[in-house]
Amino acid sequence: MTPLQPRSFADVEAPQFAMCSYSTPHNSIYDDVEQSAVVGAAAVGLWEGKFVDGEDEKLLEFMATHNIATSTAVPERHSILGIPFDLPGTPKDPEARTELICRSIERLAKFRPAVVAVAPGTTGDASAPAGPIEELIPNLRTIAEVAEANDVLIGFELLAERRGCPVHTLPAMAEMLDEVGSPRLGIMFDVFHSWPEPDLINRIAKYAPYINSVQVCDARIDERSGFDRELPGRGRATAGPIIEALIAAGYRSYWEMEVFSDDGSYGNDFPDSYWKMPHVDFIRETKQEFERVYASALTNLRAEGRLSTS
C-alpha cells in the first residue's frame, strides 16, 4: 500500500533544513528552537525526552514566535523492540513499549509533525539482532490505528544491519509496511544506517514512494560507535549520491540532520567530537555542509538532465 505523502515543498532550489534535537545533547528544547531559527532552519525534529511536563503550549508558542515548524517528532521511547540506550525503567515487552509510543503520538500530534518517528529496535550487535521480529507487524498495526485517529503519519525508521536491526533494507521495510496495510506508515530513511545497502541508488528510485522522511549525516571511515557520525559530505562522503538519488526520485519534504558525535554523553569521549562545539556553531556548520552537498547534487542532476521539478 502506497503511504500518504508528508508535508512537501515544491521549490527544489530551497531545501527545507531541519535539525534533530537528538543531535544537540546539551541543549534544552527551547535552545534547539532558538538556535535553529538563528541559523535559518525551517524546522526542528522534536524529541519528547527534552520536553518539560506541562509546557507543551508554551513550546508551541515559542516555536510559532521563532517561525520554526516540526519536521520529525520522536517519542521519548520510540522503538518497538529494545535499543541499547533505552531510558531506565523502559519496559522490555513490545506491547508495553507500543502502548508508550501510542501515548506519545497522542501528545506529539499537536505539534503537527511531518512524521512521528518509530523504530523497530537494535542491539548494537549485527550477530544478534533485536527481536522477536514477529512482534513488529501487530504492534505497527496498533500504532497505525492511533496515528490515523490523531491525523499524523509515521516514519518507520530503517536502521542498520551493522547496528543489530532485524529489518534493514528498503525492500524488507516496504514488504513489512505492505503487510501492515496502512497508508499512515512510511519509511524514515537515514543516510547513516543505509549507506552500505547493496544497489542502494537503484533501490531509492524503486522504493521512493514509501520514503516519507529523511535524516542526513555522513559516515566516518573509521566508525568508532553508533554515536560517531560525520557532517554531510565528509568522511565516506556517502550523503551526496544519496541526496542526489532522493531528489531525482521526487523527495521534497524536510532534510533533517541527525549527527551524533559522542563527547562522553553516550560512553565514548571522542576528542574530535562536534558536540564539544557550542551547539549553535555545530548546527550552523552542519547546515553549511548540507547546503554545499545539496547544491552539488542539483548541479549533477541538471548536467545529466535528471532534475524533475514535479
**Residue holding cell 562522553?**
264
DSSP assignment of 93-123 equals SHHHHHHHHHHHHHHHGGG--SEEEEB----
- Residue pLDDT, tens place only, 220-279: 999 999 899 999 999 999 999 999 999 999 999 999 999 999 999 999 999 999 999 999
At 101-155, the pLDDT tens digits run: 999 999 999 999 999 999 999 999 999 999 999 999 999 999 999 999 999 999 9
pTM: 0.96
Q: pLDDT value at position 151?
A: 98
Cβ atoms 245, 304 nearer than 8 A: no
Give the pLDDT confidence of 95-111 residue by residue, as tens digits. Answer: 999 999 999 999 999 99
- CA 310, CA 263: separation in Å to the nearest integer? 42
